[in-house]
Amino acid sequence: MKKVYKLEGLDCAHCAGKIEEKIKKIDGLKSVVVNFMTAKMTLEADDDKFDTVFTEAKKIVNEFEPDVNVVKA
């Protein structure tokens, strides 16, 4: 399953790169792309693991950018 999320309030390109690198380490993740220019994050994971992967990814986003809202694009 692949889903795209809008990262509302993302204002740091360097942080976007750090977020992507840390999310890549989540178990069950197939791929992630964090695009600073479009402020979007694309996650791909197995259907049965997607909710867990998304929850972990959202925590990581807020760890680096506490004011960012992660919403379905």
**What would the pLDDT profile of 15-38 be if each residue is shown by its tens digit?**
999 999 999 999 999 999 999 999
CA distance 62 to 16: 11
CA distance 61 to 36: 12
What pLDDT score was predicted for residue 67? 95
Question: Is CATH 1.20.1540.10 what the domain over 2-72 is classified as, yes or no?
Answer: no
Residue-range domain boundaries for the chain: 2-72
Helices (H), 1-73: 13-23, 50-64
CA distance 67 to 30: 26
CA distance 51 to 48: 8
Residues above pLDDT 90, as percent of the chain = 99
Task: Give this prediction's pTM.
Answer: 0.94
CA distance 52 to 13: 26
